[in-house]
Amino acid sequence: MTEPKRIGIIGGLSPESTAEYYRFITQGYNEMSGGLNFPQVTIRSLNLSEVVDAQDDNDWDRVAEIIVAGIYDLKGAGADFAAIASNTPHNAYDKIRELSPLYVLSIMDATASEIKADGFSKVGLLGTKQTMEFGYFQKTFGEYGIDVVVPDEGDRDFVDRIIWDELAHGKITEEARLGYMSVIRKMADEGVEAVVLGCTEIPLLVRQEYSSLKVYDTLRMSCLDGAREARGISVTIDVFRASNTIIACLGQGAKCVIPVGSLDDALGLKKKSPRCLLFGERKGLVPDGFDYGNSPTEASSLRLKGERVIITTSAGTQGIVGAGRSDEIIVGSFANVSAVVEYINKRNPREVSLVAMGFASRSACVEDELCAEYIKGKLLGECPDFEGVKREILMSRGASRLRRLKQDDDLDFCLKLDAYDIVPRFDFESGCVFAG
């Protein structure tokens, strides 16, 4: 394993949120790595007054200049990428990204991705007035198909005042908490399904246990993103057929896919959660008591919006559940090659592991090895010959086995290039695979 990336944090916006950001990002990294493993972190603390003055003047170019100057300092100190421990400066994110010498994590992309995976499409937003009113959250979330609702003008003034007059100074009062909960209840009456805490100080005041709506803490989302960014990415590849079944299930709107190793574990989980759908195979066939097999063609014909899917297979799911916590794990195949390559290039990890699962996780097979080589070529900027790869796979033992099992439709499905713009991502905390 190569040395993890060094994390650079733009802090001081405010000191309270910077301290929380540092705590969460190191905690998240340690939970993924185990033992006494913690990331290398450099913090560049800025003068909050200078940034706020530029924000109040609506001078987002100036905000970007201040942030980018700090990022240059982080680069000089050895950081490999940067994170901004504050929401409001993200109004200048496009300019910051353009000028920055380092890759900069987006606090909004991290949050929107999580909300989309949970199946919500209308959320309330709390933050500074600039965050609520500027529109950058709305623009970014809109790209994920998520509508954003903000409080009325009077409530926006109240939320903003509490942030600057109290939370930024570490002052937490019950009166302020009750006021925020009142604002959230009003937004719930307007039909919002969840609430985004779009200011890194607000989680000091509002917690999940206080709200009837699902609460998304942008501070935590960004920290988890940063912890993953400091590590490598592992791509689990099982062309025939687990990767494609998982991709198809998420493509059909499944809320999540839960990979498990054994038949007994799958049946036990189904017994505890009878509303879940049970997919799987052993030796290519549907096990007794299962709803569906390991067929991407079948999965792509089902209406799965909002459903939770349990899946166990001979190879692919074994690779996911047995991969440990050393990497971020995503699922790849020919069906989502471009999405996988784009995701990896955007993350720019120090290490990428392409894990060809092989037959029953015991022996190498042509289709997985060639898919891994194809992804590698695309990552290196090459133009691999897909038709040539396809012809070779169609002559393989794996293809013959599917024909023998009369699963020709699945054979065709598994060799379609870029059928889905989905990157299934394994969430270590929940044990679920979500669409990324």
Q: What is the pLDDT of residues 29-38, one digit of tens each?
A: 877 677 788 8
Tell which wins on pLDDT, 307 or 107: 307
Q: Any idea what DSSP says for residue 363? A: B
Residue 238 and residue 242: Cα distance in Å, rounded?
A: 6
Q: Which residue has the higher pLDDT, 37 or 364?
A: 37
Rounded distance between C-alpha atoms, residue 78 and residue 63, angstroms:
23
Q: Give yes or no for residue 431 having a pLDDT over 60.
A: yes
Amino acid code (one letter) for 217: D
pTM: 0.55
Using the predicted structure, report yes or no on whether residue 426 has a pLDDT greater than 80. yes
The β-bridge partners of 328 are: 233
Q: Is the pLDDT of residue 173 over 60?
A: yes
Q: Delimit the domains of the chain by residue range.
A: 7-105, 108-224, 232-435
When pLDDT is averaged across residues 40-65 and rounded to a whole number, the result is 94
- pLDDT for residue 219 is more than 80: no
CATH 3.30.700.30 fits 108-224, yes or no: no
The CATH fold assigned to 7-105 is Rossmann fold (3.40.50)
The pLDDT score that the predictor gives to residue 325 is 45
Largest Cα–Cα separation, the chain: 71
| Same-fold call for 7-105 versus 108-224 | yes
- Superfamily grouping for domain 232-435: ComB-like (3.90.1560.10)
**Residue 318 reports pLDDT greater than 80:** no
239-243, 321-325, 358-362 — most confident range: 239-243
Q: What is the number of other CB atoms lying within 10 angstroms of the CB of residue 35?
A: 6
Instruction: Identify which has the larger pLDDT, 134 or 337.
Output: 337
pLDDT (0 to 100) of residue 326:
46
> What is the Cα–Cα distance from 149 to 194, expressed in whole angstroms?
10
Report pLDDT digits (tens) over 70-128.
999 999 999 988 999 888 899 899 899 899 999 888 888 888 888 887 789 999 999 99
The pLDDT of 274-282, averaged and rounded, is 93
Whether the per-residue pLDDT at 182 is higher than 60: the answer is: yes
pLDDT at residue 319 tops 80: no
| pLDDT band, residue 168 (cuts 50/70/90) | confident
d(CA 23, CA 30): 11
Q: Beta-carbon neighbour count of residue 125 at 10 Å?
A: 25
SS3 for the chain is CCCCCCEEEEECCCHHHHHHHHHHHHHHHHHHHCCCCCCCEEEEECCHHHHHHHHHCCCHHHHHHHHHHHHHHHHHCCCCEEEECCCHHHHHHHHHHHHCCCEECCHHHHHHHHHHHHCCCEEEEECCHHHHHHCHHHHHHHHCCCEEECCCHHHHHHHHHHHHHCHHHCCCCHHHHHHHHHHHHHHHHCCCCEEEECCCCHHHCCCHHHCCCEEEEHHHHHHHHHHHHCCEEEEEECCCCHHHHHHHHHHCCCCEEEECCCHHHHHHHHHHCCCCEEEECECCECCCCCCECCCHHHHCCCCCCCCEEEEECCCHHHHHHCCCCCEEEEEECHHHHHHHHHHHHHHCCCCEEEEECCECCCECCHHHHHHHHHHHHHHCCCCCCHHHHHHHHHCCHHHHHHHHCCCHHHHHHHCCCCCCCCCEEEECCCCEEEEC
* Six token digits for residue 402: 């599917």
Q: What is the mean pLDDT of the chain?
A: 88
Closest CA to 122 of 101, 148, 99: 148
Between 405 and 336, name the one with better pLDDT. Answer: 336
